[in-house]
């Protein structure tokens, strides 16, 4: 018999018990955690991309269609496109499309198509009966979360109509 065995047995008896390392959750919490995990995975797969929408309306003889993003990822370029069609039998002179300063001032990398001296206003010129013209702004918004802006269709100094729109900038 070894003289150190009783001492070793005594020292081993002082070791704390080793609990089972297992997380135990009630059924409701297991279901909740599973649902939250599924929502996070779905958001990462399906929700982190740009979403677009379109709205149509009529300002007097002009029919317009505005296509814009409802959700933009930070650092990407957002495109706002307006198509204007003249449904009247007569020509419309000096047609302008004006984008509200709130969006333009809070953006970078601004491009207008057709190109314009003023970043807020694109001159489309005369619009013949039945003709359609397009204006487009490409820009990178800097203000996170909900952004509001508006555009106006003008002929000379007269405003034919104004339309508000909103989108989200996601960090």
Helix, strand, or coil (residue 31): helix
pLDDT at residue 85 in the model: 95
- When pLDDT is cut at 50, 70 and 90, the band that residue 129 belongs to is very high
CATH number at residue 119: 2.60.40.10
Peptide bond into 114 cis (omega under 30): yes
pLDDT at residue 66 in the model: 92
Provide the domain count of the chain: 1
Mean pLDDT of 88-101: 89
Half-sphere exposure of 89 (CA within 13 A, CB side): 0
Residue 2 has pLDDT above 70, yes or no: no
- When pLDDT is cut at 50, 70 and 90, the band that residue 104 belongs to is confident
Would you say residue 74 lies in a domain?
yes
Residues 146, 92: contact at Cβ < 8 Å? Answer: no
Residue 10 has pLDDT above 80, yes or no: no
Query: Any idea which of 15-19, 65-69, 136-140, 142-146 has the lowest mean pLDDT?
Result: 15-19
pLDDT at residue 119 in the model: 79
Strand partners, 151: 99, 163
Would you say residue 95 lies in a domain?
yes
Nearest of 45, 82, 89 to residue 67 by alpha carbon:
82
Residue 48 has pLDDT above 70, yes or no: no
Residues 6 or more apart whose CB falls under 8 angstroms from that of 63 comprise 56, 57, 84, 85, 87
More confident residue, 111 or 33: 33
Q: Which residue range is the domain that position 157 belongs to?
A: 51-170
pLDDT in tens, 140-153: 888 888 888 898 99
Would you say residue 18 lies in a domain?
no
Would you say residue 3 lies in a domain?
no
Residues 113, 150: contact at Cβ < 8 Å? Answer: no
Would you say residue 104 lies in a domain?
yes
Would you say residue 100 lies in a domain?
yes
């Amino acid at each position: 018999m070894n003289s150190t065995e009783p001492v070793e047995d005594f020292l081993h008896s002082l070791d704390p018990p080793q609990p089972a390392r297992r997380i135990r959750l009630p059924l409701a919490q297991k279901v909740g955690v599973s649902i939250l995990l599924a929502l996070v995975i779905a958001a990462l797969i399906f929700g982190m991309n740009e979403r677009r929408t379109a709205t149509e309306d009529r300002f007097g003889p002009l029919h317009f269609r505005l296509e814009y993003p409802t959700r933009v990822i930070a650092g990407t370029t957002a495109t706002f496109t307006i198509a204007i069609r003249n449904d009247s039998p007569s020509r419309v002179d000096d047609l302008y499309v004006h984008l509200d300063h709130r969006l333009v001032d809070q953006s970078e990398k601004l491009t207008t198509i057709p190109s314009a001296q003023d970043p807020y206003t694109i001159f489309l010129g005369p619009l013949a009966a039945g003709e359609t013209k397009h204006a487009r702004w490409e820009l990178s918004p800097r203000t996170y979360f909900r952004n509001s802006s508006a555009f106006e269709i003008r002929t000379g100094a007269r405003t034919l109509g104004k339309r508000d729109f909103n989108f989200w900038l996601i960090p």
